[in-house]
A and B are shown apart, each in its own frame.
Chain A
Amino acid sequence: VETSPSFTVPPDDVQEKVAFMFNNLTLQNLQKKADEILAMVQVQHLEWLAHYMVLRRISIEPNYHNLYVAYIELHRDGEFPFKVLSETYRNIKVLLQADKGDANFSDRSLLKNLGHWLGMFTLAKSRPVLQKDLAVKHLLLEAYVRGQQDMLYVVPFVTKVLESCGQKGCVFRPPNPWTMAILGVLVEIHGLPSIKLNLKFEIEVLCKNLSLELKDISTKGALANADKLRVMQLAAPGEPPATAT
């Protein structure tokens, strides 16, 4: 990931102590370790801590996402969750804008992990994913226009984000219109003749998790519209395609 925005990095010994804490952080000792981390990390280093958590922990340890949500909620600094969230969006953008090579499984799994995390940290808690932060539906349409390769990155990412909509008490549970609109696009993608089997599978799993049948989700011809848009763009050369991020 690109060099990050300006933040102060704590001295090496503090970094090592934090790494040690995270290497031993569990739900059982959460409060104790959280206090210890807080005692070591100064206010001006909180951006660094958010950066460390997203880059070094959250993006590669999906098995501990629950733990990290709980950790962040315990944090006494009210700004900290927002720091983590903006760092999450920043990392997602970097990955989405990176070269989507043929067999870059690592970027793809990082995106899936961050998608899962984003959903848990926002939607599951009834906090919205704002258009200005991440235009989810647009992202799918753009990937469709750009082709199969982009869809391999974007579709699994989006399904992971939406997975959290199934949470009890979440306002984004179907039939929430925001969620249904995105699901509609996913169902259209599912119906494409050339679609890769694993993407179909991701979409089916999502629907199952949300207790929906594919056939019950209404579609609005979003892909056909995107096709028209593509033709228009081809007719007007020099116009860069809209970026979703």
Chain B
Amino acid sequence: EINLMDELTLKGITEFYAFVEEKQKIHCLNTLVAKLQINQAIIFCNSAQRVELLARKITELGYSCYFIHARMRQDHRNRVFHDFKAGHCRNLVCTDLFTRGIDIQAVNVVINFDFPRNAETYLHRVGRSGRFGHLGLAISLVTEKDKELLCRIEKELGTMIRPVPKIVDKELYVSSPS
């Protein structure tokens, strides 16, 4: 496999984490979606099963959401991707299937609902926002067991992932008027 880590950068992307318990994750996601200004968002989970569960759950909560994972038929995946790109829906829940080489300009927020298992995955996921020199925001929900991994990934990528502040400055991820 080709490692593209050197070519991807996290420039223009602001990274935060929120320390939560597993059962608080949905609540945390709700809070984020109420506080942030999202054009389109991608929400990552670590397994196809969790993708479907989460997508069902948040659809019930009134989210506009699609999901995509590797256990779906290719033509269905294509359809979902096409419609998401066309803006038919605001949020996409997915596995790491969706991390590579995909540019959707409107995506300004990436949420790691599950923390990725290694630095490369983190980089590829977070690189979904802020493409084309646009600004982006990446927020990872981190549980007790992810703590060490968070530190390690931060070190490996030479990046800084800070705790999410009460109010996220909109200047960081939407090019809004001053």
Contacts and interface: CB of A to CB of B under 8 A. Distances in A.
Contacts of B177: 1, 55, 59, 91, 94-95, 106-107, 110
* Interface class of chain B by DSSP: loop
A92 to B, nearest CB: 11
B34 A20 contact: yes
A56 B64 contact: no
A107 B176 CA distance: 9
Contacts of B170: 56
A60 B37 CA distance: 10
A24 B106 contact: no
A28 B36 CA distance: 22
Contacts of B64: 24-26, 28-29
Contacts of A1: 177-178
Interface stretch (B88-96, B122-130, B144-152, B153-161): B88-96
Interface in A19-48: 19-20, 23-29
Interface of B: 30, 33-39, 41, 62-65, 87-91, 105-106, 170, 174-178
Closest 4 CB pairs of A and B: A16-B34, A24-B64, A23-B38, A20-B34
Given A28-B88, A56-B174, A109-B175, 9 more contacts: A1-B177, A23-B34, A23-B41, A26-B88, A56-B37, A56-B170, A59-B176, A60-B175, A61-B106
15 contacts: A1-B177, A16-B35, A19-B36, A23-B37, A24-B90, A24-B91, A26-B87, A26-B90, A29-B64, A56-B176, A61-B39, A63-B39, A63-B105, A67-B87, A106-B175
